[in-house]
Structure formats: C-alpha cells, structure tokens
Amino acid sequence: MIGFGRYNLLVRIGQGGMGVVWLGRQKALGRFCAVKLLDPEFAKKPGTDKRFLREARAAASLSHPNLVSVFDGDEFDGQHFIAMEYVEGFGVGDILQMRGPAPVPLALRWLQQAAVALDYVHSRGLIHRDVKPQNMLINADGRLKLMDLGLAKDMFDTEHSLTITGMVVGSPNYISPEQIRDPKTVDFRTDLYSLGISFYQMLTAKAPFERTSAAAVCAAHLQDPMPSVGLADAELTAELDHFIARLTEKNREARYQSAAEVLAGILPWLERRPIDNASRAYLAAAPFHERAVGQLLKAEGIEPEQVDANLTPVPRGELTSLLNGTGSDTTVVTDDTAPMPKRRPWLWLVGGILLGAALVGGTVFAMFKVVVAPLVAQMKARAKPAPPSPGDVAVWLQQRRVFAEQLFAETRHCPESEWLAKKKQLLDKIRDNLQQQWRIQDPAVLDRIVANNANLLEEVRAMTTAEFQRAKPRLLDRWLLQGRKPGERPKAAPPP
C-alpha cells in the first residue's frame, strides 16, 4: 500500500501505454477508484504534463453511462495522475483472449454501446483517437464503458492541440489511414474506422491486419482490403463483411459519417438477434469475480480496515520510482505529510504575526474579488462580449447541420407536381431560420442567401441517390459557410 496525497494506492492492477494503473481509495470520500500514473519517461517530454492534465479536464467534463467517469487529475511529489471510476471487469481485448470470438448478438451489443459512447463524445466536440478493444471495459452484466481519452483531441481547441508535428498517435492495429497520413487533419470519422476494426476483432478474436512490424500494419491500413469475418453462416458473413467494409473505408468520405449512422445500420440485426444462451454462457465463463475490489484486496493480503490507514512516510523524491515499479520492494510508503520537529517558542510568535498579516491581506483580497472584480468584469463584458465557448460552437454547428439535412430530405422526397409550392415553403423556412437563428436582418443579405439556397435545393433535387450521398458532406459545408467571409470561423449567435 502506498500513501499518495489524497489517495491510498492499494493494488497495482494494470500497465498502459502512458503509465501504470493502481486500485486506489480516495481518503475524503472513502470510495475506491482507478488511479492512472503518467510514465516518468513521458513526463520528461516538453509540455506532456500540461497535456496530460488538460486531457483529464476534457474527460472530467463528460458524463455518460457508457464512459468511465474521471473525477480528479493533479500532481503529487512530481508524479502526475488521473483518478477515475473503477470498473469491476475486463477489457474486451482481455475477454477475447480468454474466451475467443464473441457470439454475434453479444458483439453487436458491445458495438452498439461503444457507438453510443462515441456519439456522446463527438457531440461534445471531442475525438477519442484511441478506440480499441483494450479501451472498452465490460462488467459481469455486459455493460460496456469506453475509457482512456488520453489521446483525445478537442476539435475547437486550436491553441492547445495535443498532436505533435510528425508524430502519429493511436494504436497501430486500429489506426485510421488519415491518422497515419496527417494526425492534425483527423475528424470524428477516424474513431468510426477504429470502431470497425474493433468490431471485426470482436467477431474473430484477432486484428484484421496482423503483420511483423508497426510499419507493415500501417501500410496495410492504407492499402489492403478488409478480410472476411468468415462465420459459419454465409449469408450473415456477407452482411457483416459489407457493413465492416463501409465502416473501415480508406476514404473517409465513403465511410459512415457519424456514430448515429452506425447505430441506425446495426438496428435491424439487434432486433433479429436478441441475447441468447450462448452469449450468456460466454460472459458467465469470464472470471469477473477476480476484478472485484474485495478479491483484489484479499489476493494482496490487505485487510479491509487497512485501506484508510495512515502510512509511514519515506524520503521525498523516491515516490515516482516506487510507484512505477523501479524502486525497492516496499509495501508502506509516503503520505502527504511527515512528522514535524518541535518548534521553539519564538517561532510561535513569528507565526502568529505572519498569520495576522495573512488574514488582513486575505480580507482585502476577498473584498476586491467580491466587489471590485465583478464590476470590472461587467464593464469588460459590455465593452467586448466574450467569445463563444467550444460547447456553444458545437451546438451551433449541430443545429444548423440538422436543419440542412431536414431541408435536403424534404427536397428529395417531394413529388414533382408539388415541387413549386414546396420550394416556396422551404425558402420561407430558410428565411425565418436566417432571421431567428443566424440573426441576419439586412434584407439585401437575406435575399442573396435565399437565392443561393434556391439554387442549392435545385442541385440537390437533380442528383441521383448515389450522387447525393457522395456530395452530401460538401453540400452541408456550403450551407454552414453561407453568409460568412472567406476563412471566417463559425460564431455562435448572440442571445435573443
């Protein structure tokens, strides 16, 4: 056991790409958690520690049943860490190693839950960038929780990009072609590619491109076609092969365009293939009891009453090597405080004077913060409104994209005999949207944009289904870019 600031680290439970993971106990709240420690070698790289904590903040802003919750990230005695929810289960990769290929109904539900989690992550403007079976935790009830946003990229944070020029991030077996070519240009669809590779592995218990080196694996992602899942049911194999091939298209424009589309694509299978006895037996045979907190403590010889014990301190600076397994074999290590020597009486007088000065200074500072600072902030806000937050921009983009997709759908499904009347209704709807949502009031600007949209709707109507599917991303971009100067970023509308 290791005392670690606000936590007691109890059992070392895993090793990841960026560091080790411990089962811990948060002292103040008395809850068990997983504490991920940044590898000291990573911490030596310039800016890594700041990125590590920024990733913790990004993950902590998310809350979803299919995501592992992150609730703390900090640094103690030179060691950076993230504290997160502990799941009493195994990664999908571990289960596949123990039990072999998953039954199709179970694999489909794992895929469904992972897609739901990604849909939520993407809606918050984040890309995971390391989707793989090892980052999908499963408990005994079959609940999947996606974890480890350690490589997450904020689509709206251009100032603090987590990608280093010339550095490919992600796991080679699951990395998308665009992430290999230029990691700085990836978008949400890179996660969908990795999801497709993971689904293939769920069904076969092996990665589709098993090669002798990481470079050869990356070359296969760029060039080689996806192999077949090769199930006993030939008809089902053909259906799944077609689905996975589209999910893992080399050209992301031909890929599924959102996690919501993936969910819609697997819905018929979910309805036809409920969880069966084979799926239940497959899960029941995995030793989930070994991951229970009580079992881990028992295996380590830790009594329940010891988990909140005060631990004996050790010299400062030795903590990092002990935590990461490079120091001496020690079971009781440092706490955040050590016994203090007795102070001479005159030190108490000096301490009292300093405390009084601190109280006076604190009172003045509090008055400034409570009274003066808000007034200054209000004056600045009136002079220059605050820029929209990434969340505002994400909502802005999503609202307008949904509106445009509704317009395109109504345009394409309208009978020819009703088109002229329908077109007038759609243009009136566009004008109202521009006035109410986009805050455009200039009549000349409104007329110009409405006229451009009339041409856009005619283009959409004239296309075949295949042409429309290929052109849809470009058409949506035209809708989102209208009314802005070249190069101008999307802006959130001011409040009504």
Q: Which residues are catalytic?
A: 130
Tally of helices (H runs) and strands (E runs) in the chain: 18, 11
Q: Which residues contact 102 (CB under 8 A, 6 or more apart)?
A: 95, 96, 110, 202, 203, 205, 279, 282
Residues 156 and 492 sit within 8 Å (Cβ to Cβ)? no
Q: What is the 3-state composition of the chain as percent helix, strand, coil, each rounded to the nearest 5?
A: 55, 10, 35
Residue 150, Cα to own-chain centre: how many angstroms? 8
Residues 132 and 173 sit within 8 Å (Cβ to Cβ)? yes
Helix ranges (H only) for 248-372 are 259-272, 277-284, 293-300, 319-323, 345-367
Distance CA 63, CA 124 (A): 11
The identity of residue 436, as a single letter, is Q
β partners of residue 34 = 23, 84
- At what angle are helices 443-462 and 419-436 packed, to 10 degrees? 140
Distance CA 172, CA 167 (A): 13
Task: For residue 323, give the nearest of 333, 313, 337 by alpha carbon.
Answer: 333
β partners of residue 126 = 154
What stretch of H or E contains 24? strand 19-26
Task: For residue 15, give the nearest of 33, 38, 42 by alpha carbon.
Answer: 38
Distance CA 4, CA 6 (A): 6
* Cα distances (angstroms) measured from residue 374 to each of 179, 368, 383, 457: 45, 9, 14, 49
Would you state the structure tokens that stand for residue 188, as one six-digit string? Answer: 């949400």
β partners of residue 26 = 7, 31
Distance CA 27, CA 8 (A): 7
Distance CA 9, CA 297 (A): 11
